[in-house]
Chain A
Amino acid sequence: MVTELKRILLVEDDPRDVELILEALGDYHLANEVIVANDGEEALDYLYRRGNFNARHSDNPAVVLLDLKLPKVSGMEVLKQIRADEKLKMIPIVILTSSREDKDWLESYKLGVNAYVVKPVDFHEFVEAVKDLGAFWAVVNEPPPGSIRNVRKR
C-alpha cells in the first residue's frame, strides 16, 4: 500500500512534549516526516532555509504545528512572519498550545491561522488530538502549491 506522507514542521520547545507528540504520531506511523524546531528562530531558519537548514530541499512543509510560548521568537511572531511572506503565506499553520486564553485564540485567528488546538491535559485525548492533526494535515489534506509530497511504502 502506498501512503502519501507530507512533511510536518513541529515547533515545540519542551522536549517532553516533543517526545509525547512524536510518540502519538509514531503510533499511527505518521512520525517519519516530522522536523522539530525547538524555538521560533529555528522554525524561521527552517522555513527560510538558513543556518542549520541552508542545505534542505526547497519544498515547504505540509503543515506547521506551532506552539505559542517559545524561546527567542514567539509562536505568534513566527505566525506573523509566515503570513507576511509571499512564498510562505499559504502554508497551513495549526496552533498547538497549552493556552486557552481568549487573547491568544483571537489573535491567532486574526493573523490567519488554520486551526487552534489546545493540548488536552489528558494523555488519551492528547494522543487523539495529535493523531487527528497528523492524519488530517499529512494525509487527508491537499497542501497548497510549494510543498512536495513524499511517496513512501508502508
Chain B
Amino acid sequence: MEYEAKIGCTSANKLATSEAEPKYPVHDTKLIIPVTMTLLIMLIGMSLYQVVKYLLFPGLSLIKSNIITILFSSTVATIAVYFVLRNRQLLLQHTLKENAERKKAEAEVKNLNRDLEYHIREVETANKELESFSYSVSHDLRAPLRHIGGYVELLQKNASSVLDEKSLRYLNTISESAKRMGLLIDDLLTFSRIGRVEMQKTIFSLEAVVEECLKDLEREMKGREITWAISPLPDVYGDRFLINLVFQNLIANAIKFSSPRAQAKIEIGTVPGKDDEIVVFVRDNGVGFDMKYVDKLFGVFQRLHSSGQFEGTGIGLANVQRIIHRHGGKTWAEGSVDKGATFYVSIPKLIKGE
C-alpha cells in the first residue's frame, strides 16, 4: 500500500505541475491508486468467494448465497476502506508535520538572516568609525607633529648662536621625539589600511615574491655575511602586494635579528601542513626569543628588544598576522634565546571552482 501510494504521489505531482494549482497536489490525487486497488481487491474477493462456495457448498440456495456474498464483500470493502482512510490520515499527518517543520525551519532561517544582517550593519558601522578614526589620526595628529618639528628646526636655525649646548640638546631631543611619533603614526595608519584595503587575489609565484623582497632588502644586508638557503617555493593564491609585505617583514626581521652573528644563516622553505594550505617558514640563527613571550610577538607595537638593541616600532609582525588572517591563514613562531627563531605562515590553497 505504501509503495503504491508513493508512486501515486509522484505521478500525481507530475500531473499537478501542469495544472493551475500545483501547491498541495498530494491530498486528493493520492487516492486514485488506493481506491482502484480496493475495488480490484473487492472484485477478486467476490470471484474467489464464488469459486469457494461452488466447491464447498454446491447445494446452497440463491438468496442465502447472495446474502453471504454481500456480507463477505462488504467486510472486505470495509477493511479496504479502513486501510485507505488510515493511509490517507497518515499522509495528512505527515504533510502537516512537514509543513510545521518547514515553517519552523523557515522561521529559523529568517531569524538567522536577521541576526546576520544586524551583525553586518554593526561591522559596517564599526568599519566606518574606524575609517573616520584613522582619517582623523592621519590628518589631525600629523599636523601638530609637523609643526613641532618645523618650529624646533626654525629655532635651531635662528637661535643656535645664543643657546648653550644643553638647550641645543633639548631641542634635538624634541625633534627626535616628534620624528619617532611620526613613524609610529605612519605605522599605525599602514596597519589600519592593511586591514581595510580591498584584496585582489591572483595566483602568483612565491619564489618570485621572495626574490623581489631580497632585492628590496639589499641595503639592509650591506656589510653582512649571510648564508641563504631558499628551497623551491610553490605558487600561492592571494593578494600579491600584501603577501609581498609579509615576506618583506619576515625576511627583514631575520636579517635584523641575526645581525650580531658573524655568519648569519637564513632559511626559507615549506613544511607539510594540512591538505588545503601551504605552510612557509623563515628561519634565522639570530638572537631568538623566549617562548614565554611568543603570544606578544604578533601584537601591535609589542617589542621584545629595546630600541637601543634593535631598531623598529614593533608593527611588522602585527602587519604579517593581519595580512595572513585576512587570507584565512595562521601565523606562529618558534624560538629560544640566542638560538634563532622560525616564523611560520599558512596560506590556504585555492579551492577549485572558487
Contacts and interface: CB of A to CB of B under 8 A. Distances in A.
Interface in B78-98: none
Interface residues of B, number: 25
B242 to A, nearest CB: 14
Q: Interface residue tally of chain A, by bracket?
A: 20 to 34
Contacts of A99: 135, 138-139
A98 interface: yes
Contact of B179 (A16, A100, A122): A122
Given A23-B154, A101-B135, A119 B142 contact: yes
B139 to A, nearest CB: 5
B182 interface: yes
A97 B179 CA distance: 18
A123 B153 contact: yes
A124 interface: yes
Interface string A47-73: 000000000000000000000110000
Secondary structure of the B contact surface, majority rule: helix
Interface in A95-128: 97-103, 119-124, 126
Nearest to B153: A123
A14 interface: yes
Contacts of B147: 16-17, 20
Given A20-B147, A123-B149, A102 B138 contact: no
Contacts of A120: 146
A17 B193 contact: no
B145 interface: yes
Contacts of A126: 146, 149-150
3 nearest CB pairs, A to B: A121-B182, A123-B149, A123-B153
Interface of B: 134-135, 138-140, 142-143, 145-147, 149-154, 175, 178-179, 182, 185-186, 189, 193, 197
18 contacts: A16-B147, A17-B147, A20-B146, A20-B147, A23-B154, A98-B138, A98-B139, A99-B135, A99-B139, A102-B197, A119-B146, A120-B146, A121-B146, A121-B178, A122-B149, A123-B146, A124-B153, A126-B149
Interface of A: 14, 16-17, 20, 23, 68-69, 97-103, 119-124, 126
